Amino acid sequence: MAAQEVKKRGFMSWYFGTNLLLRILLGLGLGAVVGLFLAHSPEYAGGFITYTKFFGDLFVRLLRMIVVPVIFFSLITGAASITPHQLGRVGVKIMGYYLATTAVAVCIALILGVVFQPGAGLGISGDAAAQAKVATMPPLSQVILAIVPTNPAESLTKGDVLPIIFFSLIFGIALSVLRDSKNEALAKNATRLFDICSTVAETMYKIVGGVMEYAPVGVFVLIAVVFAQQGPKVIGPLVFVTLLCYIGFVVHVVVTYGGVLTLFGLSFVKFLRGAWEASLTAFVTRSSNATLPISLRVTEEELGAPRSITSFSLPIGATVNMDGTAVYLAICAIFIGNAVGAPLGFEQMVTLTLISTLASIGAAGVPGAGAIMMLMVLEGVGLPVQAGSAVAAAYALILGIDALLDMGRTCLNVTGDLVGAVVVSKNEKTLDMSKW
């Protein structure tokens, strides 16, 4: 109480004393208005971006700063805080949830794509193909092998998320076994190490709280820059495909997540009220990884899920559970097929279902990762992106508006992770029901 009083009357009380959601929404609204103005007045846009980019980058960097330590220490704490037996059971449940919801997301996208046929009649030819960016996908076996770090310290310094997750999980499981050891001295030291890891994780969450106080400024700049750069390009068929993706995102949130929550006897509205901070951060940062610290905090503090579940389900979810990316991949692949006059047939649709699910799992939780995965999807449905081809031109069109699509899909990706953590906690009877 006394601390709050001091906060109210202290440094920049007009800012820190105002509700955080209100401040963030103000930043979002103002950013959109300023960005749209700049899109129509390109003479000011360059200067604005040059002088304000710093503040947006600062926000993303502050979030990124805590990502590796948060993943590392919270995964160790998570894996070590439950017995190996429990970890197996909860792990199977959460992975089952991730796969099932992603498959449903792809189905929703396919239905929307088949009914509304985005890109039909666009008639793109190979002429504009020079703008296409061609990237290469490593083979699947390489992707899987890369999950196992040859040098965990190198993965930590480079910030390679999948190897870090793999190593932290193994480390945590080993620590959990040692805490149970018959050798008392060993068990005591293992518990000490566990306490240290859990305190470091706790310290990270404190830092997250501080970083969020800066969020309104970061949000304003990030949104203004995206709108300034993308605004005029969002026209015609691209508006349509963007709208269709967003309809897919909303349908998945309301029908799938709403349905799953209701099935578990939890209020959808209360969930949204508790989850907004993480969903909104995902929307503006376009990165599940960068949002992870916020996801962890709100799932525990606002939604009442225990750390034993959040600290390992959310880092894994931020990397492999990407329902928004799956929706985007399926709808945009249909768009590209239609746009080049080669609509996908039944067999290609079946392949699309499978490959969109896998590609979404493989996409990293960083901005634009889904657009790279799109190359794998297009290859899989027989529409390879080759320099100079019509497919490459259509792909370039989608790349042009990727930032807008990325905002929505990342928001869905993160929201899905939160739902997973909450329902598995409920199922494990560890959810703090006083928050509901």
CA–CA dist 250, 10 (Å, integer): 41
The distance of closest approach from Cβ of residue 364 to ligand ASP in the complex, given in angstroms and rounded to an integer, is 7
Cα separation, 88 vs 321, in Å, equals 18
Out of 101, 256, 287, 338, the only residue in the binding site for ligand ASP (CB under 6 A) is 287
Count interface residues toward ligand ASP (CB under 6 A): 16
Phi, psi of 212 (to 5 degrees): -65, -25
The CA distance from 113 to 425, in Å, is 34
Q: Which is nearer to ligand ASP, 129 or 275 (CB)?
A: 275
- C-alpha dihedral over 216, 222, 225, 228, to 10 degrees? -70
Rank residues 171 and 249 by Cβ distance to ligand ASP and give the closer one.
249
Read off φ and ψ for residue 185, nearest 5 degrees: -60, -40
| Cβ–Cβ < 8 Å for 260, 423 | yes
Cβ closer to ligand ASP: 281 or 325?
325
Nearer of residues 87 and 106 to ligand ASP, judged by Cβ: 106
d(CA 26, CA 423) in angstroms, rounded, equals: 32
Interaction pattern, residues 344-373, with ligand ASP; x per rule: CB under 6 A: -------------------x-xxxxxx---
The residue at minimum Cβ distance from ligand ASP is 370
Q: Measured from the CB atom, is 288 or 308 closer to ligand ASP?
A: 288
Query: Minimum distance between the CB of residue 245 and ligand ASP, rounded to whole angstroms?
Result: 11
Q: How far is the CB of 3 from ligand ASP (least distance, A)?
A: 35
H or E segment at 147?
none
* Cα 340 to Cα 326: distance, rounded to the nearest angstrom: 21
Minimal distance, residue 370 CB to ligand ASP, in Å: 3
The tokens for 389 are 């081809």
Q: Which of 245, 300, 247 is nearest to 277 (CA)?
A: 300
Out of 39, 63, 296, 322, the only residue in the binding site for ligand ASP (CB under 6 A) is: 322
Residues 389-428 that bind ligand ASP (CB under 6 A): 406, 409-410, 413
Of 223 and 369, nearer to ligand ASP (C-beta) is: 369
> Could you tell me where the DSSP H helices lie in 231-322?
236-251, 258-263, 268-285, 288-301, 307-320
Comparison of 45 and 320: residue with beta carbon closer to ligand ASP:
320
Q: Shortest CA distance to 412 belongs to which of 254, 234, 239?
A: 254
325 binding ligand ASP? (CB under 6 A) = yes
Q: Which is nearer to ligand ASP, 194 or 283 (CB)?
A: 283
- Beta carbons of 322 and 363 less than 8 angstroms apart: yes
Q: Footprint of ligand ASP on residues 247-286 (CB under 6 A)?
A: 286
* Residue ranges in contact with ligand ASP by CB under 6 A: 286-288, 322, 325, 363, 365-370, 406, 409-410, 413
